[in-house]
């Protein structure tokens, strides 16, 4: 890889969906609502990830990073991993 930027595809051909920054989503397992705060390169697996914080935990929420595929994928019980909440809340 010559240069890493947000247009660089990962090993799956995916690029970060920058338009989702600031969006809220609810995890269908733990029920927490997360706000997407950014995107990051996950170097160990060469895939893009998203960074989010639980809005219930306020300013002290620990950021979590998950692969981009989690935004659109299903959990082991076949339910979508996240429910997208309406509207876009900008960071």
Whole-number pLDDT of residue 59: 80
Burial of 62 (0-12, 13-18, 19+ CB in 10 A): exposed
Among 70, 68, 26, 29, smallest CA distance to 49 is for 68
Q: Alpha helix locations (H) across the chain?
A: 69-72
pLDDT in tens, 54-87: 998 888 899 999 999 999 999 999 999 999 998 6
What is each CA distance from 45 to 8, 10, 22, 49, in whole angstroms?
Answer: 14, 9, 25, 10
pLDDT in tens, 10-29: 999 999 999 999 999 999 99
Confidence class of residue 46 from pLDDT cuts 50, 70 and 90?
Answer: very high
Whole-number pLDDT of residue 57: 87
């Amino acid at each position: 890889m010559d240069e890493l930027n947000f247009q660089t595809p990962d090993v799956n051909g995916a690029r970060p969906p920058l338009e989702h920054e600031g969006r809220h989503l609810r995890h269908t397992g733990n029920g927490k609502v997360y706000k997407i705060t950014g995107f990051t390169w996950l170097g160990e697996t060469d895939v893009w990830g998203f960074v989010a914080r639980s809005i219930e935990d306020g300013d002290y929420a620990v950021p979590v990073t998950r692969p981009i595929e989690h935004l659109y994928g299903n959990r082991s019980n076949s339910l979508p991993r996240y429910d997208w909440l309406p509207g876009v809340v900008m960071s």
